[in-house]
Amino acid sequence: MPYTPSLDVSSMDKSVDPCVDFYQYSCGGWQKNNPIPPDQTSWSVYGKLYQDNLNFLRGILEQAASSSSERDALTQKIGDFYGACMDESTVEKRGLAAVQSDLDAISELKSAEAVTPLVARLQFAYGRTILFAQGSTQDPDDSEQQIAEIDQGGLGLPDRDYYTKDDAKSKEIREHYVLHVQKVFELAGDDPEAAKQNAETVMRMETALAKAQLTRVERRDPYKLKHKMKIAELAQIAPSINWPGYYKDLQYPSFEILNVATPDYFKEVNAELTGEPVANWKTYLRFHLVDSFSPYLSAKFVDENFEFYRKYLRGAKEQQPRWKRCVQYTDRNLGEALGQIYVQKVFSPELKASTLDMVRRIEDAMGQRIRDLDWMSPETKQQALTKLAAIRNKIGYPDKWRDYSSVRVARDDFAGNVERAREFEERRDINKVGKPVDHGEWYMSPPTVNAYYSAQMNDINFAAGVLQPPLYDAKLDDAPNYGDTGGTVGHELTHGFDDEGSQFDAKGNLKNWWTKEDREKFDARTKCVQDQYAQYVVVDDVHINSKLTLGEDVADLGGEILAYIAWKGAESGKKLDPIDGLTPDQRFFVGFAQWACANERPEDLRLRAITDPHSPAKYRINGVVVNMPAFSQAFSCKAGQPMVNPPEKVCKVW
Ligand SMILES: [Zn+2]
């Protein structure tokens, strides 16, 4: 892996006053030196590290793919998966034939009653949700148990808002989308006139579905997604679906209760199932099958998929080279097989020990912070401390690897490999129903450059990929490491106590543990953050939807405060000298800012303003430091400068 230090002075722009725009001061040089590559939709420290990981994994996969009789089972699987993906001429020759049997099943559809059994079949193998989403989930009232769940889905655009908003840009995107749907039908063999009509049918059906969906902001309220019921009750909401038959088709373990996340959506599905003729369902399903599987078909499908989803919607200029896509598909489909080899090479036991030590120090800081809060009652504090103590720390990779031995991977069948890997994951997910929760499970592969908190698991997870330079840098001093990775650890930890996560208790159950007064005070504090971020502009006249980003913004602020406290604790008694002209405190804050250095395309910013719960990079730094008096002290900023909030405007949640 190439090495870049986690604090890089050449990435700064010292001509900018840190008290005026700290992000620009810390990242101006990086932005100048790192233009967005044509095949990327944005470019960032995280994105660049992920590209380095892809390059590294490519080496592993090329070696695994070169045929040799001595390959073990794991090497054979990842090698042949990658090799089949790289075998473009075979993929090209097969064309649409790769999905022909499912297309035939759609064309043979004869009645409305036959739609759902077919949906069940297609849901199994195709990436995007077909009509709706299904699977297992933790019971919101008993997080140790897995139950069945169904949820909204079935749209081709990235969010329901694209179908409902009335501004000129949204209308333009809808027009482009209809043209894209038409193109997909033409590629699948329709004449242009039929393709045009079919595209209009798809758009009309999806619009009706979209209007019945919850918004992303509504979905941040866990109570809006909790509707546990018996199959018989679901049958009253959507009587035109034979639910016992549906679950039998998917071979679910038997169960009494399931969660219907979005009952209104299933009322709409029911209305469309009775209102739309079978011919329209054939059209809808055919589009979703071909569109969602396009990346794995022949070049004309791959190209059209790129043109609309990555180029038009997100601003990329060029398609990524094939090897890069094939590495990502292998990671996505056999992540814990590829990940085993990755962590052997990049994630030493020493690295695991040192990052775990940092995690523990930040948890201690959180405990201290909770005990010191001047606005919270002792009863709620006790509950918060209990929850903090119950958080599980998962570092790097799972203790027990997923067993892919039942997945057949063929060297000459890329699309089939993807289908079989997906079926394996679907089956694995469905089979959890009725079983106790596996706390060792990860929702991210080890090479992923990311981390997450799960409210129902009450655990924090840091993939090995996010604990590498230039994020965590064992060669550098603690200041930038705590500012950067320490802040990430604090961020994930704070998610357990943000406006959403704080509604779950120590066991991960959706259960209130706050006194009424404390909750009101807490809500007023998060409102401060919500109002602050609502002022920030993403692109043109689009502001941050701060009701969507609130949890992330609270986690960003809380996380950095915890990292600062933990760092001060770890360094107490040591005499630290300035390095490269930066004091230790300045290094902490520049280290923090440099995790987020990025260049972003306007198209991608616009899409993420609708879909991404995170604020744009610049505000994830500037929005935090204005609320940290330690920052103004570190840079001797004066009252009245943009990065200095007067005391009455400082938001303080945790
Ligand atoms: Zn987060």
338-375 pLDDT, tens digit per residue, is 999 999 999 999 999 999 999 999 999 999 999 999 99
Q: Is 90 exceeded by the pLDDT of residue 478?
A: yes
pLDDT of residue 61: 97
Residue 190 has pLDDT above 90, yes or no: yes
CB 26 within 8 Å of CB 621: yes
- What count of Cα atoms within 13 Å lies in the side-chain half-sphere of residue 252? 23
Interval 444-476: pLDDT, tens = 999 999 999 999 999 999 999 999 999 999 999
CA 492 / ligand 1 centre spacing (Å): 6
Average pLDDT of span 380-392: 98
Taking residues 109-132, what's their average pLDDT? 91
Helix 278-293 vs helix 100-107: angle between axes, to the nearest 10 degrees? Answer: 170
- Distance (angstroms) between ligand 1 centre and the Cα of 486 equals 14
Q: What is the mean pLDDT of residues 488-512?
A: 98
pLDDT at 329: 98
The position carrying tokens 């007067």 is 646
Q: Look at strands 142-151 and 133-139 and give their pairing.
A: antiparallel
- Report, as an integer, the average pLDDT of 7-17: 97
Q: Is a pLDDT exceeding 80 seen at residue 155?
A: yes
369 C-alpha to center of ligand 1: Å? Answer: 20
> What does the pLDDT average to over 616-643?
97
Looking at residue 124, its pLDDT comes to: 86
CA-based nearest residue to 80, from 92, 96, 68 = 68
Q: Identify the three-state secondary structure at position 654.
A: coil
From ligand 1's centre to the CA of 532, what distance in Å? Answer: 18
The pLDDT of residue 127 is above 80: no
Q: What is the mean pLDDT of the chain?
A: 96
Q: What confidence tier does 163 reach under pLDDT thresholds 50, 70, 90?
A: very high
Per-residue model confidence as pLDDT tens digits over 572-607:
899 999 999 999 999 999 999 999 999 999 999 999
The verdict on whether omega for the bond into residue 470 sits within 30 degrees of 0, i.e. cis, is yes
If you measure from the C-alpha of residue 451 to the centroid of ligand 1, how many angstroms do you get, rounded to a whole number? Answer: 8
Query: 623 falls in which pLDDT band (50, 70, 90)?
Result: very high
Asked if residue 69 has pLDDT above 80, the reply is no
Q: Residue 559, Cα to own-chain centre: how many angstroms?
A: 19
Distance 550 CA to ligand 1 centre (A): 10
- Residue type at 215 in one-letter notation: T
pLDDT of residue 325: 98
- Coil vs helix vs strand at 219: helix
CA atoms lying within 13 Å on the CB side of residue 603? 15
The residue-averaged pLDDT of 322-336 equals: 98
Catalytic residue numbers read 492, 556
Instruction: Name 332's Cβ contacts closer than 8 Å, sequence gap at least 6.
Output: 445
Helical H segments across 306-348, by residue range: 322-333, 335-346
State residue 422's pLDDT score: 96
Residue 196 has pLDDT above 90, yes or no: yes
Average pLDDT score over residue span 490-512: 98
Compute the distance between CA of residue 383 and CA of residue 506 in angstroms, rounded to an integer: 8
Asked if residue 71 lies in contact with residue 79, where contact means CB atoms within 8 angstroms, the answer is: yes
Closest CA to 335 of 420, 399, 421, 459: 421
What is the model's pLDDT at position 576? 93
Distance from Cα 518 to the centre of ligand 1, integer Å: 24
How confident is the model over 231-262, as pLDDT tens digits? 999 999 999 999 999 999 999 999 999 999 99
Q: How much distance in Å is there from the Cα of 367 to the middle of ligand 1?
A: 20
C-beta of residue 115 within 8 angstroms of C-beta of residue 109: yes
Give residue 126's pLDDT band: very low, low, confident or very high (50, 70, 90).
confident
Say how many Å lie between the CA of residue 288 and the centre of ligand 1: 31
Tell me, what's the pLDDT at 83? 98
The pLDDT assigned to 399 comes to 95
- Looking at the chain, the whole-number percentage of residues with pLDDT higher than 90 is 97
Q: Is the pLDDT of residue 67 over 80?
A: no
Q: Which among 443, 328, 418, 330 has a CA at the least distance from the CA of 125?
A: 418
618's torsion region: left (phi>0), alpha (psi -120 to 50) or beta? alpha
Given a cut of 90, is residue 481 above it in pLDDT?
A: yes
pLDDT grade, residue 305 (50/70/90)?
very high
Å from CA of 337 to ligand 1 middle: 26
Please enumerate, as own/partner, the contacts of 103-107 that have beta carbons within 8 Å and a separation of 24 or more: 103/188, 103/286, 103/289, 103/290, 106/282, 106/285, 106/286, 106/289, 107/282, 107/286
Q: How confident is the model at residue 168 (pLDDT cuts 50, 70, 90)?
A: very high
* Both structure tokens of 90: 């075979």
